[in-house]
Amino acid sequence: MTGTSGALLEVDGLSVTFPSEDGEVHAVRDVSFAVEPGEVLGVVGESGSGKSVSLMAVPRLLPGSARVTGSIRFDGTELVGAKPETLRGLRGSEMAMIFQDPMSSMNPVHTVGRQIAEARRAHASVSKDEAWRDAVAALALVDIPQPETRAKQYPHEFSGGMRQRAMIAMAMVNKPRLIIADEPTTALDVTVQAQVLEVLDQARVESGASLVLVSHDLGVVAGTADRVQVMYGGTIVETGPTEEVFERPRMPYTVGLLSSLPAVDQIGGRLHPIPGAPPSLVSLPPGCSFAPRCPIVEDACREAEPELVEVGTGDAAQRSSTIGTDHLSRCRRWDVLAEGSTENLFSRTEVPA
Amino acid sequence: MSAPSTEAGAAPGAGGERDGALLQVRDLTTTFPVRGQGVLRRVVGRVQAVTEVSLDVDAGETLGVVGESGCGKSTTGRSILQLIRPDSGSVRYDGRELVGLSAKEMRPLRRELSMVFQDPFGSLDPRLPVSELIAEPLRIHQVYSSESDLRDRVDELLGLVGLKSEHRNRYSHEFSGGQRQRIGIARALAANPRVVVLDEPVSALDVSVQAGVVNLLEDLQERLGLSYLFIAHDLSVVRHISDRVAVMYLGKVVELGDAVSVYENPRHPYTQALLSAVPLPDPAAERRRRKSRVVLTGDIPSPANPPSGCRFRTRCPKAQQRCADEVPVLRASDVAGTHTFACHFPMGDADSAA
């Protein structure tokens, strides 16, 4: 899935390892994906799946001990091995980041307006007054009431939701072309989350930027992303258009993730957990990393890690609607999922985790 | 704090009060002092964490308590168990009044009223092996006859929560989050409680693991006839596990009733906004919902200085003058009185779609 011409971000064969006392931690393994201009890519997975690390490698916001190999091209410029100045020029201007915790990503001793103006002046030759005006305009863009007054306040005077909106304002002030949002609403209450997601969407549509949304919340991704990629054991196990992946999952892990969720709009009977635990990233099994927990595993799955294969054209009934959708799965037995109902895949395998 | 008006429309016993419930909470109020900056750290105000909360938990029933951060749901749970001393109100367990009991008088009752905490990392002593973690409550309450009896009971509890007896000598750091929460549940169940307060028991877990713990809690309830007070911010999990649900906002119960009724036919505008804000893991449905979603403006006001009248009025799309003047009391939504809400201008059946 590489070399899509015109892609804003192209990640090819990205691997990230960290040294540890127990050996090398393979946090990200051979990950390739592309983000088109204006596109929203959702990245989902559970803790330790490599979803955050793979995206933080893009602006090189990883600890110094991380070893990054492969290729990351932003608008044609290679970032792996690039000079620090190249990255410094891109970070905060062409590509912006929004993090989970807005309290620790702002400086408590400077006013919110000053921090946003500083971000503006770091990348553009504008006067202090102009930068301040841009900061106030950015706060207005994210629906902060009385932006002139609010800009003069300190982060602690903002509530959690307002702080996160101010973070979005700071990310948007230089009109970035790519926004990487890592769990941007995880620390927020649902009613505030709804506000922040709406603001993020508005800001993105107005600026035409691409968005990579990393989240463990399948609901957040379902409503926002054009395409989604599911990560497990440090690598992409399924990717495709959001509706395709949610409605016709072709990787047992994705099926398990969806069927383990209780539904707010349904009276549920029994939930269907995925048995077992995620693999250790220090000593991964030789075959498919999901094999030890998979209800349809066969011997061949344990021998070699399967490749990502096109799965969109498997079902004759759905062939017309799914042709050329780039729906890929890292499962040798995806056709089993295409043939039968995926609903009861995990119900018969219930064992305590 | 203004006194609630007693309104003619209020059904007697509104608030889901039932005679003979195992746990009866009436007008429970808990406040925390706010201290000044000076040397004397004088009390300059009080945060009204829980205000006049009334609810019942029947034997074998699960009452879910939902609400956002700062709504007082955790303080309610802790005040019921007297882990935080409430200012006023009454908590009757099996006919016995708990408010006002000394720590010593409370101790034998703690066998029957236990708690599961959110953080499976912080709530287990890292220096004790699993067998000792589980045996600790048994030793405290002296509910074993001999060391071999204790050992058997620990193994039985491990089996009950889906762990193996060979796990008994391991330490908590050797377990995954889901397994640790199972150890926490085994501890809570060790002394054979009748009521368990679960404070965000699955919030720290990944969804695939969370499902297993939720199933376990349901199985244990059925086998042991437990009553649960299930406190969580995740509306989907609460709906899944609860028989009845209480929705809290800024220290008060705003809606209380049968889970199906509250979720299908929310009467309080806050309940409706809360339900409509939950993102669905279904792309087509979620996109439709986003268009019609009631997005609340503003943030939760400070509980140190709550708004007059209805506490939700500052964010409510339906608020009028009356909401500022008069505190709404819980009143019945249906003839049976099993679903109550506190709102002057409730959502009708026509516009209550979640």
ipTM for the assembly: 0.82
Thinking of the domain A102-225, which architecture would CATH place it in?
Answer: 3-Layer(aba) Sandwich (3.40)
The band of B19, judged by pLDDT with boundaries at 50, 70 and 90, is low
pLDDT score for B190: 92
Q: Could you say which residues from 41 to 80 on chain A have a Cβ atom under 8 Å away from some Cβ of chain B? A: 46-47
Q: Is the pLDDT of residue B121 over 80?
A: no
Choose the weakest-confidence range: A315-329, B4-18, B162-176, B233-247: B4-18
In this complex, is the C-beta atom of A146 within 8 Å of any C-beta atom belonging to chain B? no
Average pLDDT over residues B170-183: 89
> Which among A189, A193, A264 is the nearest to B236, CB-wise?
A264
Q: Do A268 and B279 touch (CB under 8 A)?
A: no
User: Do B337 and B331 contact (CB within 8 A), yes or no?
Assistant: no
In this complex, is the C-beta atom of B252 within 8 Å of any C-beta atom belonging to chain A? no
Q: Do A161 and B299 touch (CB under 8 A)?
A: yes
Q: Is the pLDDT of residue B351 over 50?
A: no
Query: What is the average pLDDT value for chain B, to the nearest integer?
Result: 88
| Residue at A267: amino acid letter | I
pLDDT score for B256: 96
Q: Residue A60: which region, alpha, beta or left (left: phi > 0; alpha: psi -120 to 50)?
A: left
Average pLDDT over residues B291-300: 81
Q: Do B283 and A242 touch (CB under 8 A)?
A: yes
pLDDT score for B183: 93
Which residues of chain A lie closer than 8 angstroms to B274, CB-CB? 190-191
Average pLDDT over residues B23-43: 90
Return the DSSP state at B268. Answer: S
Task: Provide CATH 3.40.50.300 ranges for chain A.
Answer: 102-225
pLDDT score for A109: 94
Tens of pLDDT, residue by residue over A333-349, are 998 888 876 667 776 54
Task: Among A309-323, B75-89, B112-126, B164-178, name the most confident range.
Answer: B75-89
Q: Is A160 helix (H, G, I), strand (E, B) or coil?
A: helix
In this complex, is the C-beta atom of B185 within 8 Å of any C-beta atom belonging to chain A? no
Tens of pLDDT, residue by residue over B193-223, are 999 999 999 988 888 888 999 999 999 999 9
In this complex, is the C-beta atom of B105 within 8 Å of any C-beta atom belonging to chain A? no
Which residues of chain A lie closer than 8 angstroms to B285, CB-CB? 265
Q: Do B210 and A220 touch (CB under 8 A)?
A: no
The upper half-sphere exposure of residue B92, i.e. CA atoms within 13 Å in the direction of its Cβ, equals 16
Q: Which of B354, B161, B149 is nearest to B272 (CA)?
A: B354
Q: Do B295 and A191 touch (CB under 8 A)?
A: yes
Closest CA in chain B for residue A227: B283
DSSP code per residue over A61-130:
-S-TT-EEEEEEEETTEE-TT--HHHHHHHBTTTEEEE-S-TTTTS-TTS-HHHHHHHHHHHHS---HHH
Q: Do A273 and B297 touch (CB under 8 A)?
A: no
Return the DSSP state at B171. Answer: B
pLDDT score for A325: 62
Return the DSSP state at A171. Answer: H
Closest CA in chain A for residue B273: A191
CA B320/CA B328 separation, integer angstroms: 12
pLDDT score for B310: 96
C-alpha distances out from residue A257 to A180, B167, B210, Å: 23, 27, 11
CA A151/CA A221 separation, integer angstroms: 31
Tens of pLDDT, residue by residue over A316-334, are 444 444 445 689 999 999 9
pTM beyond 0.80: yes
In this complex, is the C-beta atom of A325 within 8 Å of any C-beta atom belonging to chain B? no
Which residues of chain B lie closer than 8 angstroms to A273, CB-CB? 208-212, 215
Q: Do B206 and A216 touch (CB under 8 A)?
A: yes
Q: Is the pLDDT of residue B9 over 70?
A: no
pLDDT score for B348: 78
Residue contacts between A and B (CB atoms, under 8 Å): 144
User: Do B144 and B150 contact (CB within 8 A), yes or no?
Assistant: yes
Q: Do A195 and B296 touch (CB under 8 A)?
A: yes
In this complex, is the C-beta atom of B240 within 8 Å of any C-beta atom belonging to chain A? yes
Higher pLDDT, A320 or A121: A121
Q: Is the pLDDT of residue B352 over 50?
A: no
Which residues of chain B lie closer than 8 angstroms to A195, CB-CB? 295-297
Q: Is the pLDDT of residue A160 over 70?
A: yes
Q: Residue B297: which region, alpha, beta or left (left: phi > 0; alpha: psi -120 to 50)?
A: beta
The band of B353, judged by pLDDT with boundaries at 50, 70 and 90, is very low
The upper half-sphere exposure of residue B295, i.e. CA atoms within 13 Å in the direction of its Cβ, equals 16
pLDDT score for A268: 57
CA A274/CA A351 separation, integer angstroms: 9
Cα–chain-centroid distance for residue A277? 22
Average pLDDT over residues B171-195: 91
